[in-house]
Structure 1
Amino acid sequence: MTSPDAAARSRQAASGRRSPALSLFLSLRPSQWTKNLLVFAPLVFAVKLFDLPSVLRATGGCAVFCALSSVVYLINDVMDREGDRLHPLKCRRPIAAGDVSVTLAIGAAATLAAAGLASAFLLDWRFGAVAAIYLVLQTWYSASLKHIVILDALTLAIGFVLRAIAGAVVINVVISHWLFVCTILGALFIALAKRRHELVLLADGAASHRPILDEYSPYLLDQMIAVVTASTLIAYTFYTISPETEQKFGTAWLGLTIPFAIYGIFRYLYLVHQREEGGSPSDLLLNDRPLLACVTLWVIAVVLIIYHPFVP
């Protein structure tokens, strides 16, 4: 499967030119919107997947985060445009390449931010508050937090946690502490793998593109990734086999999904270490068939196991 912006880039390369509208659309990074599907996680685990009002509210919440995440990407690309021009892949981004002006990017970001936050508060004021915190935190990350070692990766992980919290708030359920722990650990795993990919890909030029990479080393990142990998698998295993989970869902079979979690994480590690990928987690998910198949089968298995006791 090819991501939307990758397909658009292929068409542009074939024609030799890119329209302003297409360039702006690519700057929104539509392939990255897959991250916002995390908003639906509380819906699934709260056993509300077939409750139409909840589904509609979660869908609206996901759309809001798609808009706000695009705001963050536009701001980030404006701030990083000089450094991106030194990167072998990021130099193709429309703002870095000069296909989208800074004025247009800022105008689009302001419009999306206003529309996204207004929609968020219309859905629920608490959801709006979480969405606003997400936007402020990620903008702060683009401005300064990404230059602070360890805190840079942790901030990215917190962005995923806020998506999960927002998904719970918008359908008026309490987020599970298990979902919170598994989300932040899984997101931290992806963030650290992304840093490792950048460090290895850019080699001696890493610090000139992203100065914070000078604070890391492949060995340090490998140690961090190992700790987070083990923690993620342990947390997910404890969640699936805990008496609390069995009582909530009325089934003890959720542990059958553990092999999917193990394979998915190990496949990701393989792609990072052996294929030197991982720079764009969303693109990696969409383009690596084994990983996509694993995630798809995991979702199907979770839904079948969780919802079976509730189906007449």
Structure 2
Amino acid sequence: MAERTVVRQRPAAPGATPSRTGLARALLRTARPRQWVKNTLVVAAPAAAGELFTPRALTQLPLVFALFTACAAAVYLVNDARDAEADRAHPVKRHRPVAAGQVPVPVAYAVGGTLAVIAPATAAWLCPPQAAALLTAYLGLQLAYCVSLKHVLVVDLAVVTTGFLMRAMIGGLALGIPLSRWFLITTGFGALFMVAAKRYSEAVQMAGRAGATRALLTEYTAGYLRFVWQLAAGVAVLGYCLWALEEGGVPSTSLLPWRQLSMVAFILAVLRYAVFADRGTAGEPEDVVLRDRALTLIGVVWLAMYGLAVADW
């Protein structure tokens, strides 16, 4: 019987040249498609103002979503190219396409740099000046984070939080919608709550596992990160309640005070999310929300109440 020869494929080694199809897929993975859901925050300000479905919103919001996604992809590519060597020594990050050799470092830099030029240029051409300036500032801030700011205590939390806030602001700037002080306070501190809760969860889960987590995280104490997310949650709830109880505006004509009732759902959502933060299992915000049915249901109820409150305002 003739002997059969079995050829086994080996994973690409750093420096190997992948196929074009494989390279395209690896570049897409490096751009973190799962993280793109965060860019849906661009609809926050128009939704809060009741202008989500105007003709201008239907054209501008998809554009700013795409531009924010391009900027975020540029940052991820540059970040992974810079950290390729360190990621290869990490038990999880070594599977990232750049660290695994599926995307050559020069290619990651080239594609990231191209996106970093094209996105702001397109924004300057097609978006209002304020929105284009905010997008450019976001890109510059995130690239600075990749280079050095992620190694600075407290500043790293502020930069990530500011990124969420900028996403929430750009939709309003693109449509010329004034941004409410309560909107900014609630969104900013709500983002800080989730960012600090994620850092706290990482600190709890990776305690005592050298090399398994980001270096800066070892300089935070779990008690400090707990203080930050608890403080941020309290300020976010206070800001929302002050908005809901604010006097003035057009008198309500609805049978129920949806604006005030939405406080209940908002507070329940924060308290439910805090359960996971306290356990040290609050990872990516989208994963926490989508995997917990109770939190998802509370979120849907809050969205319905908030929508009715905005429509009646």
Unaligned runs of 5+ in 1: 1-17
Match of 1:60 in 2: 63
* Separation in structure 2 between the aligned mates of residue 297 and residue 94 of structure 1, nearest angstrom: 39
Structure 2 counterpart of 1:235, from 234, 239, 243:
239
- Greater shift in the superposed pair: 212-221 or 199-208: 199-208
Query: Does the 8 Å CA contact 2:134/2:170 hold for their aligned counterparts?
Result: yes
Give the SS at the match of 1:96.
coil
1:101-112 equivalences under 5 Å are: 101-112=104-115
- Greater shift in the superposed pair: 193-202 or 81-90: 81-90
Q: 1:35 to 1:143 in 2, by over 3 A?
A: same
Query: Does the 8 Å CA contact 2:71/2:119 hold for their aligned counterparts?
Result: yes
* Separation in structure 2 between the aligned mates of residue 125 and residue 228 of structure 1, nearest angstrom: 31
Q: Say how many residue pairs are matched.
A: 291
Using the aligned pairs only, state the percent identity. Answer: 32
Structure 1 counterpart of 2:295, from 268, 291, 296:
291
1:85-100 equivalences under 5 Å are: 85-100=88-103
Deviation of 1:99 after TM superposition, in Å, equals 2.0
Structure 1 residues 22-41: Cα deviation after superposition (integer angstroms, max 9, x where no partner): 22111111111111111111
Match of 1:144 in 2: 148
Q: 1:217 to 1:259 in 2, by over 3 A?
A: same
Query: Does the 8 Å CA contact 2:206/2:212 hold for their aligned counterparts?
Result: no
* Separation in structure 2 between the aligned mates of residue 86 and residue 291 of structure 1, nearest angstrom: 36
- Greater shift in the superposed pair: 166-175 or 78-87: 78-87
Q: State the TM-score, normalizing by the size of structure 1.
A: 0.85
Deviation of 1:249 after TM superposition, in Å, equals 7.5
1:15-30 equivalences under 5 Å are: 19-30=22-33
Give the SS at the match of 1:49.
coil
Match of 2:215 in 1: 211
Query: Does the 8 Å CA contact 2:252/2:312 hold for their aligned counterparts?
Result: no
Given the alignment of the two structures, is residue 134 of structure 1 paired with residue 134 of structure 2, yes or no?
A: no
Match of 1:49 in 2: 52
Give the SS at the match of 1:119.
helix
The structure where helix makes up a greater share of residues is 1
In structure 2, give the amino acid aligned to 1:260: A
Deviation of 1:289 after TM superposition, in Å, equals 3.4
Structure 1 residues 164-194: Cα deviation after superposition (integer angstroms, max 9, x where no partner): 2211110011111111111110111111112
Given the alignment of the two structures, is residue 262 of structure 1 paired with residue 297 of structure 2, yes or no?
A: no
Deviation of 1:305 after TM superposition, in Å, equals 2.7
Match of 1:182 in 2: 186
Q: 1:95 to 1:157 in 2, by over 3 A?
A: same
Give the SS at the match of 2:81.
helix
Q: 1:168 to 1:300 in 2, by over 3 A?
A: same
- Greater shift in the superposed pair: 164-173 or 300-309: 300-309
Match of 2:277 in 1: 272
Structure 1 residues 235-255: Cα deviation after superposition (integer angstroms, max 9, x where no partner): 1111111114x5488774212
* Separation in structure 2 between the aligned mates of residue 250 and residue 45 of structure 1, nearest angstrom: 19
Query: Does the 8 Å CA contact 1:84/1:209 hold for their aligned counterparts?
Result: no
* Separation in structure 2 between the aligned mates of residue 25 and residue 220 of structure 1, nearest angstrom: 36
Structure 1 residues 122-152: Cα deviation after superposition (integer angstroms, max 9, x where no partner): 2222211110000000111111111111111
Unaligned runs of 5+ in 2: 1-20
Query: Does the 8 Å CA contact 2:98/2:104 hold for their aligned counterparts?
Result: yes
In structure 2, give the amino acid aligned to 1:153: L
Give the SS at the match of 2:98.
helix
Query: Does the 8 Å CA contact 2:75/2:142 hold for their aligned counterparts?
Result: yes
* Separation in structure 2 between the aligned mates of residue 226 and residue 157 of structure 1, nearest angstrom: 15
Deviation of 1:83 after TM superposition, in Å, equals 3.5
Deviation of 1:88 after TM superposition, in Å, equals 4.0
Given the alignment of the two structures, is residue 199 of structure 1 paired with residue 209 of structure 2, yes or no?
A: no
Match of 2:6 in 1: none
In structure 1, give the amino acid aligned to 2:76: Y
Q: 1:282 to 1:79 in 2, by over 3 A?
A: farther
* Separation in structure 2 between the aligned mates of residue 35 and residue 237 of structure 1, nearest angstrom: 24
Larger Rg computed on CA atoms: 2
In structure 2, give the amino acid aligned to 1:261: F
